[in-house]
Amino acid sequence: MAHSLNLAEETKKILESLGVSSSRYNNGDLTVVSPINGEIIANVVQSSATQTKETIEKAVKAFQTWRKVPAPRRGEFVRLLGEELRKFKNELGRLVSLEVGKIISEGLGEVQEMIDICDFAVGLSRQLYGLTMGSERSNHRLQEQWHPIGTVGVITAFNFPVAVWSWNSALAFVCGDSIIWKPSEKSPLTALAVQSIIERVIKQFGEASTDLAQLIIGDYTIGDTLVNDPRVDVISATGSTAMGRIVGQNVAKRFGRSILELGGNNAAIVTPSADLELALRAIAFGAIGTAGQRCTTLRRLIVHTSIYDSLISSLKKVYSSIKIGNPLEDGVLVGPLIDEKSFNNMENALKAAKKIGGVVYGGGRYIDEALQNAFYVHPALVEMPSQIGPMIEETFAPILYVIKYDNFDEAIALQNNVPQGLSSAIFTTDMREADHFLSALGSDCGIANVNMGSSGAEIGGAFGGEKQTGGGRESGSDAWKAYMRRQTNAINYGYEMPLAQGVKFDIQAH
């Protein structure tokens, strides 16, 4: 029964089983509340600005030795990390659910994503390729090499409390970099758990400094210390656009490199030829899954007039039957919002939408007697007269705005006409429409999918988005290049000194 929930006790047991010392989470000044029932589950010790500076110093030193380890050996290190994550998948997955309120299968899925990126990075460790180019000069060779860049600061959001660290770290480790992680102040426990795992792996591997992967805990102020320190070569920051606007400028001021993974406002176009049953399943997962708290959550649905009524009526049926509640229970598909602020943001967005003619179905607080101190909501569907007001913003909650279109170009324009550019989707069986959507004239997002939703990306592709989503790419494909520095080499193996572009510069050598 939900009444007998003792989440603090369960959290403690999991942290113990993962080897986290209780001194890290018993008497600290950062209170961690489970969004499942509002219970205080830990009090975590925060890092000071001085400690953060010391951490950076240690990370710089750790880099200096790590870069000497051959890349395939660094891959072996990441392979061991993947093995350890496999062993503790259940514990860590459940901790994700306890700390941020994801349903169990999504908590486990997040750890699976960590394992997958480790596997990817192991292969990558033998594939950090540079190119060779034909030189315009005789007896010359032109090539490029990729070298480790230094220390990478990883700032993460609450909604993927562990996976985002691994997207960055698994790549950065094989690239030869050291890592400092600043997790969200809302999810320090999962970070402590991952830190304990990586520390064990460092020991087992034996060829890396214990400072190769470090953790600092606290709010934006220590994030700010990390961001402004010129010894941190790359800042990879995941979170809201408001955060990225500040972080991006601060890193640029010191000519650092940033990878920004920010807010999305993702849309799907549903065309007359769409397989509506398939679309319905994808739309439901995209809009309602993770209680609307994914950066790739489906927030806008652009539906052709001819199928609008039938799709809306099917969606309403899904929305009224979806099981909301304790995410630890079987069958529940919608867990809580992270906190009261999120709930208020959702309420305010719905109010604003109504004011400008939006018709709201669902929404409002979902009350469960046993979970009264938490913020559960009914997902909302909002039929909009046009794409204005809250529809062009990201509200991090399960609100799906729906709008009609008549011709395809109009649908594409609606899809693109928002400040964010993360993910997008089209449901169609018309190959011309599908390919137009994927073409240079189609979706302007970093991710564009056909006959699947906007969320649930695989690690094999590069992940990220354009415009106010920040332009960064993480995870698969060649995203690894952001964690290395490129060096172009010209080598003269002849006896002459020809200059490029035919320039003559004859001096008297004797």
Task: Identify residue 406 by its one-letter amino acid code.
Answer: D
**Long-range CB pairs of 438-441, under 8 A, 24+ apart, other chains included:** 441/412
Selected from 148, 153, 188, 263, the binder of ligand NAD by CB under 6 A is: 263
Q: Which is nearer to ligand NAD, 223 or 453 (CB)?
A: 223
Segment interacting with ligand NAD (CB under 6 A) among 32-40, 80-88, 216-224, 409-417: 216-224
Site for ligand NAD contains 240 (CB under 6 A): yes
Q: Out of 84, 91, 116, 224, point to the residue binding ligand NAD (CB under 6 A).
A: 224
Q: How far is 164 from 25, CA to CA, in rounded Å?
A: 22
Which of the stretches 65-73, 106-114, 158-166, 308-316 binds ligand NAD when contact is defined by CB under 6 A?
158-166
Q: How far is the CB of 55 from ligand NAD (least distance, A)?
A: 15
Question: Measured from the CB of residue 161, what is the shortest distance to ligand NAD in angstroms?
Answer: 9
Question: Which residue number, 250 or 271, has a Cβ lying nearer to ligand NAD?
Answer: 250
Amino acid identity at 400: L
Structure tokens at 104: 């169990």
H-assigned helices in 332-479: 340-355, 408-416, 431-438
Applying CB under 6 A, among 239, 256, 325, 421 the residue interacting with ligand NAD is 239
Q: How many residues bind ligand NAD (CB under 6 A)?
A: 29
Q: Does 185 bind ligand NAD (CB under 6 A)?
A: yes
Residue from the set 60, 198, 243, 425 that interacts with ligand NAD by CB under 6 A: 243
The site string for ligand NAD over 398-437 (x = CB under 6 A, - otherwise) reads ------------------------x---------------
- Residue 160 lies near ligand NAD (rule: CB under 6 A): yes
What is the set of active-site residues? 261, 295
Cα–Cα distance, 52 to 180 (Å, whole number): 9
Output the smallest distance, CB 464 to ligand NAD, in A. Answer: 6
Check binding of 99 to ligand NAD (CB under 6 A). Answer: no
Residue closer to ligand NAD by CB (options 74, 182) is: 182
DSSP state of 36: T
Q: Which residues contact 202 (CB under 8 A, 6 or more apart)?
A: 77, 208, 209, 210, 212, 213
Joined tokens for residue 386: 């046009």
In the complex, least distance from residue 46 CB atom to ligand NAD, rounded to whole angstroms: 12
Please give the residues from 438 up to 477 whose contact with ligand NAD meets the rule CB under 6 A. 469
Nearer to ligand NAD, 177 or 394 (CB): 394
DSSP 64-99: HHHTTS-HHHHHHHHHHHHHHHHHTHHHHHHHHHHH
Q: Is 302 in the site for ligand NAD (CB under 6 A)?
A: no
Cβ atoms of 189 and 44 closer than 8 Å: yes
Q: Which amino acid is at 347?
A: E
159 in contact with ligand NAD (CB under 6 A):
yes
Per residue, the 3-state secondary structure of 119-158, as one string, reads HHHHHHCCCCCCCEECCCCCCEEEEEEEEECCEEEEECCC
245 C-beta neighbours (distance < 10 Å), count: 14
CA-wise closest residue to 138 among 508, 451, 497? 497
Binding site for ligand NAD (CB under 6 A): 155-160, 182, 184-185, 219-220, 223-224, 227, 238-240, 243, 246-247, 261-264, 295, 394, 396, 422, 469
